[in-house]
Chain A
């Protein structure tokens, strides 16, 4: 979230799209209800289904799954052409005025630079024009034909209301009604918040859907504002922490990146990663990349990492693939090119698409380790569970080890929520039986690996043998010790620019401005600096005082970065430093410094007259409509159809087959045979969670099983009548990849949509239920879903695929 849970109550309009917040986040949803009560806020629900959020929404519209960019792109067009955007904000705080290189262009669904052979773009021309000093050329009048504003206007001129109606299947009257409500938040005293979740992420165009939402918010001047923002409601209590701490294969901690194979030299890596300002005087915070990176290497390798050996850059792995994501790993395993796998807290058989392929991959491994508190499906992939897992164990040679872990309440630690709050929790009970904490298991693995390397040597033992491991009990590092390591400490006395000592050697750091690029600081995760200081464990704080009455409780736990609760909050004030509106006052310039309800996201002594931009992490200080080369599929989001589409063309580019699906979609050749067509599988399906369950965990809990015991699908009354399916009857759902059987929930909440000249029926499939646990056994939903991912994040397309349905 750019904002935070409690801040939702400051909104005037709440757009719930690409998520079903009441369903998946019922506790956080209280703030939506507060906004309705306090501000008379309007809740808008746009979704393929009329869902639990819709039940309390003021306005609702059905949308065909996977067409969000068309709807949001149409909204951008509407806001620009009606002039209902926040003009001063857009001029002052965004890149609308920046000129784009002449070589950039877009034609018939493809941006310049596309290579159909490699299915990648050469992004060289996707950039701003620069002057001889290397600064971006701008036109503050926004009239230059090459300025971002005009290019954006031109790009979305194709996204007319008619096009939205045709592609999304939403009647134009409804479209215009909702857009009008949203446009009202272009006023400085009104804000809209966007709440989204995996309904936006899990598409082959997922990253770009989210970006389109961010562009809408920039146009409306809702970024950095209380009650505004683009807010990802994270689906797992600590999934924010997972990305923060860099647990994706291409990441280091704090959103630093692991180098690609071509960056063998430290200088080359730093050149790519260090971002210098592209406008004079701007902050461009990633210019300090060296401080974060060197402090990380000092944390890992201590005294061994020196300037002379490039801080042991050579010891870091270099990526030969863009990333070793889960799709890649499964594909390798299925090809028989992977020896073993450790699954930690990951029920991969149930959670990843195309179950048969996952099963094939797991069955070809030599060994497989599962770490989980529960006996999940994945640990028993080799076992025959009748129709739900019809395997022959005799044919599977994989050796499987189950390591029972504790769950969150059985260990101390922090959980980072969607609001970026690190909240410390204390062990409440010992784990059952032989379970051990994840930390103890991994530390044990590390100690054994180290010993093996010591005893037997190996090809490259140095990074393991020399890893800093100074824990009281090396077999079980304490949570607090790890938290302090993430925070970082001074290795020598460090001084400010006047030479005054600000930290003594050994002391914990207060914030990331104290990190140094000379090896005098060590820090495990720079964005977490300040979470555990000499003053104590900031994450354990529980002061809910809210002195400004805006829901900002700076004494409650700790938020990254720098305990800041609302990102880009400088944008809540006008360029002159006064709030845009008195009811939205958040931080402001008091003549000497920035003050207000939050930690300013800005240099606190830089006066408004200096003209420094509010988005201090970008190189221009502005919010970007134009993504430059940051995304793989284009600087402006463009609609492409899901990999399995209920229509036969992309109505935006009917004659260009290359622009039917995302041109850079993540797909492996062997999976192309496993995509179905709408002749055979006529219905558009989408998957989701239910309030009563959390993935495949709570089907092991009796109470949850009681309140939602059995797998079902949701099907509209019209289609059910056509297929002769009555309420509560059993049906079989098939896709090109497999089948499930379930009870039919026949409902008015799903309706046929008119799309591109045909009728499209949608089917809703909850992802829960498997063959383990106390709920009724069922086929895994991911038997159906396609093995294809977003071209940026590799996230699978769980939300849009094709199925057929028949009565049993």
Chain B
């Protein structure tokens, strides 16, 4: 992986912005893809842990909900979760289908289209769809616009979060943290071409083992995705804990993008201006050392404390 694959100049799409992307730097950037081979995954959750470690997030110690899934759903601090589903196939045999659920990095990202905050969501030339949190206004439209229901809103800082495909690692020529840690090589990372080739080889292998409907999940409705799955039953993606069969960006988002957004952006712009005048007239807001919410502050301190203690 070369560093220039996420050169910050190589943004090809930017939310709520009519400013054209830079055009001069051309070529040299290959599209990347993460491949998740469900047939090789043992659901060990090492990827979940690596994700939290790299991104320095610590979700809550929750509860068991009567399933192996934990945390039970994506959160602003869990950018990925493993979803376990018990499926009885046509022959009556049980299959335990374990799917790593995270941002699919769509070629046509619904979140980016829905986002009203200029530059809060960007798409790089290599295909990664990234959230620039400093621009996020916490409206939650990205989640509404996502056909996979991925982004999550944080109560702590009123911003939305999701998997970045470790854009910071990829920028430095490293694979995403989940890929590096996967013990069975169920998660692979490389150029889009290589990954689709490898996926095709795996599909052939699975067909040879009797999975007639094995296939690559790379849905056309969102222009293809930069995270693809190898599925034993690609004809029924919904059996993998409700993976969307034919994901599309909601028509409302398309409409919003086409017509409403410039207007809404103007409204938002007005509120930003109002804030500016407020600042000028009343002075800066006092930034407390800790979160004003005592519970959040306590938790933040707890997390800091554990950072030091979390020895193997």
Contacts and interface: CB of A to CB of B under 8 A. Distances in A.
Instruction: Report if A and B associate in a common complex.
Output: yes
Interface in B44-72: 44-46, 48-49, 52-53, 58-68, 70-71
Interface string B240-274: 00000000000000000000000000000000000
B46 A30 contact: no
Interface of A: 22-23, 26-27, 29-30, 33, 37, 40, 50, 52-56, 58, 60, 407, 409, 432, 691-692, 701-712, 726-729, 742-749, 774-776
Contact of A776 (B53, B59, B61): B61
Given A703-B52, A728-B66, A691 B96 contact: no
A388 B136 CA distance: 46
Interface of B: 39-46, 48-49, 52-53, 58-68, 70-71, 86, 88, 94-98, 183-185, 205, 208-209, 306, 309-312
Contacts of B46: 26
A700 to B, nearest CB: 9
Contacts of B94: 50, 60, 748-749
Given A706-B60, A747-B86, 5 more contacts: A30-B183, A52-B43, A708-B45, A727-B66, A748-B86
A515 to B, nearest CB: 38
Nearest to A720: B66
A278 B175 CA distance: 59
A712 B310 contact: no
A40 B68 contact: no
B142 to A, nearest CB: 24
A418 to B, nearest CB: 15
21 contacts: A26-B183, A29-B184, A33-B184, A52-B42, A52-B43, A56-B40, A56-B41, A701-B312, A703-B49, A704-B49, A705-B61, A706-B58, A706-B60, A706-B62, A707-B70, A709-B64, A709-B70, A728-B65, A728-B66, A745-B68, A749-B86
A708 B70 contact: yes
Contacts of B66: 712, 726-729, 743-746
A744 B65 CA distance: 8
Contact of A58 (B41, B209, B309): B209
Nearest to A32: B184
B282 to A, nearest CB: 41
Given A703-B310, A706-B71, A707-B45, A728 B40 contact: no
A283 B306 CA distance: 57
Contacts of A26: 42, 44, 46, 183-184
Contact of A710 (B40, B63, B88): B63
Q: Which 8 A-B pairs have the closest CB atoms?
A: A728-B66, A727-B66, A22-B42, A710-B64, A743-B64, A55-B96, A26-B44, A691-B44
Most chain A CB atoms below 10 A, which of B64, B71, B94, B209: B64
A33 B183 CA distance: 10
A749 B311 contact: no
Select the residue from B43, B66, B183 with max chain A CB neighbours within 10 A. B66
A743 B63 contact: yes
A711 B59 CA distance: 18
A703 B88 CA distance: 32
Contacts of A27: 183
B43 A691 contact: yes
Nearest to B305: A702
A701 B311 CA distance: 7
A158 B233 CA distance: 43
A56 B39 contact: yes
Contacts of B184: 26, 29-30, 33
B161 to A, nearest CB: 16
Contacts of A747: 86
Nearest to A25: B183
A709 B62 contact: yes
A97 B310 CA distance: 59
A746 B66 CA distance: 7
Contact of A22 (B44, B68, B185): B44
Nearest to A56: B42
A371 B63 CA distance: 31
A52 B42 CA distance: 6
B185 A33 contact: yes
Contacts, number: 129
B183 A29 contact: yes
Given A26-B46, A26-B183, A706 B63 contact: no
A584 to B, nearest CB: 23
Contacts of B43: 52, 55, 691
A708 to B, nearest CB: 6
A474 B208 CA distance: 63
Contacts of B205: 37
Nearest to A699: B61
A474 B58 CA distance: 44
B181 to A, nearest CB: 10
Contacts of A22: 42, 44
B227 to A, nearest CB: 20
Contacts of A708: 45, 64, 68, 70
Contacts of B65: 727-728, 743
A40 B209 CA distance: 9
A273 B283 CA distance: 89
B284 to A, nearest CB: 35
A432 B65 CA distance: 36
A569 B65 CA distance: 49
A722 to B, nearest CB: 17
A433 to B, nearest CB: 11
Nearest to B60: A706
Interface centre among A23, A29, A53, A55 (most CB of B within 10 A): A55
B86 A706 contact: no
Contacts of A432: 311
Nearest to A428: B312
A23 B68 CA distance: 12
Nearest to B40: A33
Given A26-B184, A50-B96, A702-B306, A727 B44 contact: no
B212 to A, nearest CB: 15
Given A50-B96, A702-B61, A749-B94, A727 B67 contact: yes
A454 B67 CA distance: 61
Contact of B96 (A54, A407, A743): A54
A60 B89 CA distance: 14
B277 to A, nearest CB: 44
A566 B40 CA distance: 27
Contacts of A776: 61, 63
A705 B41 CA distance: 21
A407 to B, nearest CB: 7
B80 to A, nearest CB: 11
A239 B46 CA distance: 23
Contacts of B59: 706
A709 B310 CA distance: 16
Nearest to A431: B311
A748 B88 contact: yes
Contact of B49 (A707, A742, A746): A707
B110 to A, nearest CB: 29
B97 to A, nearest CB: 8
Contacts of A707: 45, 48-49, 70-71
Nearest to A59: B93
Nearest to B52: A703
A642 to B, nearest CB: 26
Contacts of B208: 40
Nearest to B312: A409
Residue from B52, B67, B184, B205 with most neighbouring chain A CB atoms (10 Å) = B184
Contacts of A748: 86, 88, 94
Contacts of B40: 33, 56
Contacts of B311: 407, 432, 701
A710 B58 CA distance: 17
A52 B44 CA distance: 8
A770 to B, nearest CB: 15
Nearest to B63: A710
Nearest to A725: B66
A45 to B, nearest CB: 11
